[in-house]
Amino acid sequence: MKNWKDYVGFYESQEPPENGEVRIFYLSLIDLTSNSAVKVEKIKANLDMNNDEVGKWVEDQLKTFPTVECENEIALLRAKNNVARQTCRAPANTNYENIWFYKGQSVTDTALFVTEYNGKFAVFKHPHFEKYGFIVK
């Protein structure tokens, strides 16, 4: 996958890695019973991939979304809206080869994350990845 940056939250790290690790930031839902809010979480990830490996990783991960049968446009809209309901974000808005998933405008608001530092990449899959998208059967 050559254009993998179109499908992930991507940013270049400005700070040098510590022991080969960089920080990746992502949004996490906080359940406040009647209200929903998000907070920014951070994890450390190893800079151990090159550009081609990241492209393959992104494509492989996208192909692990759950499968949904969509016999018509209404079923597809229902499945997209189900992503919004499960993630408390918006409907699935990004498509790659019949794989629909939510990708927000912020690099921290999506299902897959990639950080780069000096040509090396670190990757991370959101802990609730399966809620962010689906494969149309």
Q: What is the pTM of this model?
A: 0.89
Residue 75 pLDDT: 97
Q: Which two three-digit tokens encode residue 95?
A: 């498509």
Q: Which of 70, 127, 77, 65 is nearest to 101 (CA)?
A: 65
Q: Read off the amino acid at residue 49.
A: M
Residue 50 pLDDT: 96
DSSP structural state of residue 18 = B
Residue 127 pLDDT: 93
Query: Tokens 């009647």, residue?
Result: 34
Percent of the chain predicted with pLDDT > 70 = 96
Q: Domain ranges in the chain? A: 4-136
How far apart are the C-alpha atoms of 10 and 53, rounded to whole Å? 15
How far apart are the C-alpha atoms of 86 and 117, rounded to whole Å? 33
Output 20 or 135, whichever has higher pLDDT. Answer: 135
